[in-house]
Amino acid sequence: SYVLTQPPSVSVAPGKTARITCGGNNIGSKSVHWYQQKPGQAPVLVIYYDSDRPSGIPERFSGSNSGNTATLTISRVEAGDEADYYCQVWDSSSDPWVFGGGTKLTVL
Amino acid sequence: QITLKESGPTLVKPTQTLTLTCTFSGFSLSTSGVGVGWIRQPPGKALEWLALIYWNDDKRYSPSLKSRLTITKDTSKNQVVLTMTNMDPVDTATYYCAHSPYGDHYLFWGQGTLVTVSS
């Protein structure tokens, strides 16, 4: 099955830019979706189809995808952005919906 | 406004069968392209996709759990039911149902329900 690899943790100071990566074999040929999950809460979709934002998601959240790496970028990071972030792809193999292992974003 | 809510037992014994119901509103599971999926998350661990049912009754299962899972829908009741047989303590997790507008990502999620497997 398809494997998505995320760094376990990323730390960033308030007001700076956070970049969370999601690695996969030729992931650039797939659509990547990103979810934010705060403690005790359900995941929230923040980016879909690589770079689209659902209604209500700040423009500070953006995404890109090329080659073997997809990236979620959070600009002007705020304390409220502290959360776990998961990437997800749909793959036409036998295990269609694959999630990455998650990245804990810490705002210093 | 789309909402989903999971319901079912909070505690099951090993070897028992778990039945979870997802009751939703704000969309129809007879609309082309729409799906409802189940995802679980063991305490402190990552999300794991389990199953999804499409508007046309097409069903997909995680290969590693396929033999234990069954997903069904009742369009008239706006419900999706997931059953998982032969429960084990490692199945202890929060179980989420989620709405998929095109079958490839999950736009709206339920609040989740914690299921503990213990004797």
Q: How far apart are CA B25 and CA B40, in angstroms?
A: 21
For B32, counting Cβ atoms within 10 Å of its Cβ (0-12 exposed, 13-18 middle, 19+ buried), the class is: exposed
The single-letter DSSP state of residue B17 is P
- Quick check: A99 and B109 CB within 8 A? no
- pLDDT tens column, B8-38: 999 999 999 999 999 999 999 999 999 999 9
- Quick check: B96 and A43 CB within 8 A? yes
pLDDT at A1: 82
pLDDT at B109: 98
- Quick check: B60 and A96 CB within 8 A? yes
A31 inside 8 A of chain B by CB:
yes
Which residue is it, tokens 């804990």?
A104
Compute the C-alpha angle A56/A86/B83, nearest 5°: 100
- Quick check: A99 and B48 CB within 8 A? yes
Q: Which residues of chain B fall below pLDDT 50?
A: none
A1 inside 8 A of chain B by CB:
yes
pLDDT at B36: 97
Residue of B66, B79, B67 whose CA lies nearest to B36: B79
Per residue of chain A (108 residues), what is the pLDDT tens digit?
899 999 999 999 999 999 999 999 999 999 999 999 999 999 999 999 999 999 999 999 999 999 999 999 999 999 999 999 999 998 877 678 899 999 999 999
Chain A residues near residue B64 by CB distance under 8 angstroms: 95
